[in-house]
Amino acid sequence: MKILVAMSGGVDSSVAAALLKEDGHDVVGVTLRLWGGESDSGCCSVSDVDDARRVAQQLGIDHLVFNFSDDFQRSVVDPYVHDHARGVTPNPCIECNRHLKFDRLFERADVLGFDAVATGHHARVEFIEGVWRLLRGHDGAKDQSYVVHVLDQRRLARCLFPVGTMTKAEVRRHAERLGLRTAHKPDSQDVCFITSSGGRADFLRRRIELHPAEVVDQNGQALGEVDSVELVTLGQRRGVAGGGGTKRFVVDVDVASRRVVVGDESELLVDHEIGADPVWTDGEFEGDVLVQCSAHGEPRRGRVSRSSHAGTDRVVVAWDRPQRRVSPGQSLVFYDPIGDWVIGGATVTSSDRRSTS
């Protein structure tokens, strides 16, 4: 089989390419040039491209570089900035997977005649009872099924995750045995276009105007001020306490009014969460699910049902018991309640459905 392997310059994708070559496949590595600006973290630096190229040389496979920087700016960076400007907390890694790694890359693979695309994600794809299933990676601490939940049947049928059945320790040991230069390279932890030196505030300040905002309690009493309302996230505690030793959390962010409302943790509890633009790995679904609200968050039990509003597809998740609200812009990913396969996901929208428990 002719396989195009996305090689980020990290150990996981390096070993993914190595495993496929060892299995006798016709393997070609590709590195995506996504971000042309400053980068000292994440997976888009010049050194990462060089690491991927050198690993390909070590493995004896061809290596390509695709420049998708315009697509990345349009589909990931611009929405990231726009979301912050309106008080939404985006997830750029999921949008990168949605639009670049499992859309544009697949399109290019089709043009070049590849049978499949592989990445170094810690997830699994299996054909079970006539259906392609997206499953959690075997290493629970490194599982990345949350960030690749956007895959449907068409993509799953041609997508490979070679390291999904391995632990991270096993991946590194395999790289060591092969003498790969990435064997001990640290994992990428940050958004690739946000520098560790400047941070999110510096990145956004160069692109939009950031505004101070007053911090008030639920009764409207002024407690202080934050430097940038666009940087405040629902549920945030740091920088908004207002003194007095009381634990306060952000329960509402109003960018237009430049106001941040804080309250105690109980005021974050909701019975329902609403998500827009749902995606499904195997057709629309309603029923009991486990819901993961962040990449490595503890799954919560609930029931998902389909809905619509003004012609827009939505889902409503009814929690088994009240849960902390999820920041608008983040993803809810639905898992089989008695297994580890991904059913689908949706992007959280704002909701005032507060729990009365």
By annotation, the residues acting in catalysis are 96, 192
Q: How many CB atoms lie within 10 A of CB 66?
A: 17
Distance from chain centroid for Cα 221: 37
Three-class secondary structure assignment of the chain: CEEEEECCCCHHHHHHHHHHHHCCCEEEEEEEECCCCCCCCCCCCHHHHHHHHHHHHHHCCEEEEEECHHHHHHHHHHHHHHHHHCCCCCCHHHHHHHHHHHHHHHHHHHHCCCCEEECCCCEEEEEECCEEEEEECCCCCCCCHHHHCCCCHHHHCCEECCCCCCCHHHHHHHHHHHCCCCCCCCCCCCCCCCCCCCHHHHHHHCCCCCCCEEEECCCCCEEEEECCHHHCCCCCCCCCCCCCCCCCEEEEEECCCCEEEEECHHHHEEEEEEEEEEEECCCCCCEEEEEECCCCCCCEEEEEEEEEECCEEEEEEEEEEEEECCCCCCEEEEECCCCCEEEEEEEECCCCCECCC
Strands 159-160 and 116-118: parallel
